[in-house]
Structure 1
Amino acid sequence: MFRARLLTCLLLVVAPLLTACDGDQPTIALLVADASGPASRVVDVDRFTDRVEATCDECRVAVYDAGGDAGTQRSQVRQAEARSSDVVVVVPVDADDLASLTEPEVPLVSLGDLLPGSEAYVGLAEGDVPNQSATDLEAARDVLLGDEKSMTYVPTREMSEQAADVAVALLADKPVSQLGGPDAEEVDGVESWLYEHQDVTVDGLTSVLVRQGVVTLDDLCSGDTEKRCEKLGLR
């Protein structure tokens, strides 16, 4: 474990960044349920990785994709522990299937669904992740064209960055309750950060999705949606 070493590093600087110290490279394992499935809506792997690297100079992120298979993910949890990961962040394929992992050897962070034995949890206030087969851009274009009345926006980027902050804090033995983001609360005795999803109609495509950088106006209003955007005054 690198906790003591990382804490020493942290005390040497004024800014809340973890700096390089001698020794092995601290590793955060990110286990995603399925990079192309509905559960991927709670995690942006690139945003998670960028956040870790921005707040921990020497940390690395090891990504495991279970491809939607619960058995594969069980094995990946053990692989991550065996490969000396210091914190494991899991977007579970099936939370019940991982319930037997009640005493993980390293700190466990749940993302999306709460797993037993977790030290922290980042999820949605409503519980389940809303199903959406299309990407946010595809769903937004469907709403723009009138094929759908609304789409559900999940704050994936914010949740990913919060999970990254929690993981880095656990590495440094910092109290996770002092992190930013939404107010921390307890869910089943676990320190948790809960986010709200949002139903977005055509009126909110630019004020919600474009404004928050989820999609660009150029991508939203290209090809067969260009004339619709012009009619609505979006271009």
Structure 2
Amino acid sequence: MLRARLLTCALVVLAPLLAGCDGDEPTIALLVADASDSTSRAVDAEQFTDRVEATCDECRVTVYDSEGDADTQRSQVRQAEARSSDVIVVVPVDVDDLASLTGPEVPVVSLGELVPGSDRFVGLEGGDVPTQSTDDLQAARDVLLGDEESMTYVPTRAMSDQAADVAVALLAGTPLDDMGGADAQEVDGVESWLYEHQDVTIDDLTSVLVGQGVLTLDELCSGTAEKRCQKLGLR
């Protein structure tokens, strides 16, 4: 069985996982709510895929985009199961719509919001991922130019990395105690990793957003923001 083969491979931080394992290619299905929505910050699909590939030589990620439609996402869960996905990671369109939808033999990791019946959960302290009207770059520029006093920063990259690590650990049947990241805790009886969002003002725009690789200084200070950056000594 796939699980038995994966158990022979050690899970270690920042080193190839499952390398050299024999058998079929383990598959992780990533179901995103709406990939075209730049304001959705629960997952960075590219970051998630890169993390899986960096930690699991044999793993493959298949991304499903429901384009914000709950019925489509429900069908995609069935599709992922039919294609023998070994783990499903889902950013839900409607959490109640997905309750108890998957079979017990396919582990489910909820990302952003907790889907009832999930095996693991990666989200935020205090509940749902907050929304904003623009993407992080535009929100940061609005703060820089004085149009807004603050923006809400969600650690999407860290959450995506954690969800990828959780998915690979489920494949390997290995605990995540030594993986780093947020400490595991229980949410409604589900092992969970929770992160904090924070309000970012002009005083910590660069230390938080540029410092954590969310955007570059060139991106922040381009166009109409260039003179403002020069005035503030950022360029």
Q: Percent identity?
A: 78
Q: Superposition pairs for residues 1-235 of structure 1, below 5 Å?
A: 2-10=2-10, 17-37=17-37, 40-101=40-101, 103-235=103-235
CA contact (8 A) 2:149 2:202 kept: yes
Distance 1:229 1:174 in 2: 47
Query: What do the CA deviations read for 1:100-159 (whole angstroms, capped 9, x no partner)?
Result: 426443000000011122111000002111111211111101111111111111000000
Q: RMSD between aligned alpha carbons?
A: 1.7
Corresponding residue pairs, total: 232
Q: TM-score, normalization: structure 1?
A: 0.93
- C-alpha deviation, 1:6, in angstroms: 1.1
Amino acid at match of 1:210: V
- Aligned structure 1 segments of 4 or more residues deviating by more than 6 angstroms: none
Higher helix share: 1
Is there any run of 5+ residues in structure 1 with no aligned partner, and where?
A: none
Bigger drift between 99-108 and 218-227 goes to 99-108
Q: State the shift of 1:177 in Å.
A: 4.7
The one-letter code matched in structure 2 to 1:128 is D
Question: In the alignment, residue 4 of structure 1 is paired with which amino acid?
Answer: A
- Deviations for 1:176-227, whole angstroms, at most 9, x for unmatched residues? 4553211110001100000000111111111110111111001111111011
Structure 1 SS opposite 2:19? coil
**TM value normalised by structure 2:** 0.93
Distance 1:31 1:50 in 2: 16
Contact 2:39–2:133 (8 Å) recurs in 1: no
Moved more, 222-231 or 15-24: 15-24
> 1:99: Cα distance to partner?
1.6
The answer (yes or no) to whether the contact 2:28–2:167 under 8 Å persists in 1 is: yes
Q: In structure 2, do the counterparts of structure 1 residues 58 and 106 end up closer, same or farther at CA, with 3 Å as the change threshold?
A: same
Aligned AA (1:79): Q
Distance 2:9 2:179 in 1: 19
Partner of 2:143, secondary structure, is helix
- Cα distance 1:230–1:149, how it changes in 2: closer, same or farther (>3 A)? same
SS in 1 for 2:10: helix
How far apart are 1:16 and its partner, in Å? 6.4
For structure 2, the 5+ residue unaligned runs are none
In 2: Cα distance, 1:169 partner to 1:100 partner: 22
